[in-house]
A and B are shown apart, each in its own frame.
Chain A
């Protein structure tokens, strides 16, 4: 489904952020990417849907019919590939002044014609789909509120509903729960978990404990290379390897979740 081949990315200052990252992800997997802050987890995720273009290496996505490289694609071709790759951003980025349901329906934009979406708007069928998605994340009653009036946890659930409307085969989640309290984080993750029967999920997580509880596989990144790829049951020695000598982040993570 997704194959990264020797993906490398330099920082503007010339320092190598990602060095020859390679891994494959299959449908049904829930991959948790862990690593210290600033190690390039977000950049790696952005390389997968082409928001960031890697300096070398390929990102090959086998979604609808045949495997295609997303790097190097532009304009229409890129949009065609992106419409079924959903991304949940850190601290969910909704359009604040649109209603919740409109925000959810924007997930469909890649799949409908520009002329129709501007002159007519969304159809009743799309609205029904959006309500259904909101029901799945338990906030259908907020459908007509403005997005900015929602709490952080609710906004994150709207982001998941929006992602679901894209009917994605690949869901990228960049620290989807990092600014939520533990209870809300748990709710959001519980909603994400069942999605894996239809798609692959790749998430960036701050806390190894989340990976341990929800993911089916963990990938650890340190100094730009994959230092761990395997079972999500990250034990102390693995965490040491990923986070370096200090066990502090791991300890902190456990105590705060």
Chain B
């Protein structure tokens, strides 16, 4: 009984707290709700479209099945798959080479010239800000449609991430071996070659392999906007309403992606695993 006063006192304090809480966030909530409502309206969302679309979808699936495997035997698709793979592979290699130098010139501990560093950082930040889709649209103006434009777009599109990760890895190396070589009279380039690179190359290769996975997906959709490769075949099949062809191509694309991912995962584990174990 004697706790009752205490309880009501507590409750009053709690109520007070809740009220203040709501007052504090009421305005924020209102703005959020208005923003959401306005966005919703601008999207022109009509849920009934889902219902009316069901027959279309059933028809589409009906036309897709069975997939037209014939389309794969022409040789045309095989070439396109190769083109996509090559686009991703060559693009990643060039991207990695670019990133290698950008990364070194952006790392504080190996590049003392601040303007050079800032410039490299700026280039990489700019690249990260521009989606690969925009890059290819600009490149198509330059060098026209085709896998060449796709490859260049992939190479440029890789440097933002790879270069930044590489620069960060360089900045986090153990500085003591650098000093010990410096004490023996080594030049800056020798320091980079014999004390920095041995510490960072495994992670650089692992990151590049990961980037290859990403670039393979990029190569697929670049085909749709004019970059060539299997993405283009898929786009054409869909545009001509050849849904059975499209499904066959999609299955191939999925297989390609899954295989590439497994392969690069395996290599990455081998490289990083080696780094940890021995």
Residues of A within 8 A of B (CB): 49, 51, 79-87, 89, 93-98, 102, 106-107, 109-111, 114, 117-118, 146, 148-149, 162, 166
Q: Is the CB of A89 within 8 A of B184?
A: no
Residues of chain B from 135 to 178 with CB closer than 8 A to chain A in the complex: 174, 176-177
Q: B residues within 8 A CB of A146?
A: 278
Q: A residues within 8 A CB of B193?
A: 117-118
Residues of chain B from 173 to 199 with CB closer than 8 A to chain A in the complex: 174, 176-177, 179-187, 189-190, 193-195, 198-199
Q: Is the CB of A95 within 8 A of B184?
A: no
Q: B residues within 8 A CB of A149?
A: 278
Give the size category of B's interface with A: 20 to 34
Residue from A82, A94, A118 within 8 A of B184 (CB atoms): A82
Q: A residues within 8 A CB of B194?
A: 95, 98, 102, 106, 109, 117
Residue from B179, B189, B190 within 8 A of A51 (CB atoms): B179
Q: B residues within 8 A CB of A87?
A: 180, 183-184
Q: Is the CB of A114 within 8 A of B182?
A: no
Residue from A81, A94, A118 within 8 A of B177 (CB atoms): A94
Q: Is the CB of A106 within 8 A of B181?
A: yes
Residues of B within 8 A of A (CB): 174, 176-177, 179-187, 189-190, 193-195, 198-199, 202, 275, 278
Residue from B179, B187, B275 within 8 A of A79 (CB atoms): B187
**Complex: A97 Cα to B235 Cα, angstroms:** 48
**Complex: A106 Cα to B199 Cα, angstroms:** 15
**Complex: A156 Cα to B141 Cα, angstroms:** 61
**Complex: A80 Cα to B186 Cα, angstroms:** 9
**Complex: A80 Cα to B187 Cα, angstroms:** 10
**Complex: A121 Cα to B108 Cα, angstroms:** 26
Q: Which 10 A-B pairs have the closest CB atoms?
A: A110-B185, A83-B185, A82-B185, A109-B186, A93-B176, A97-B198, A79-B185, A93-B180, A87-B183, A95-B177
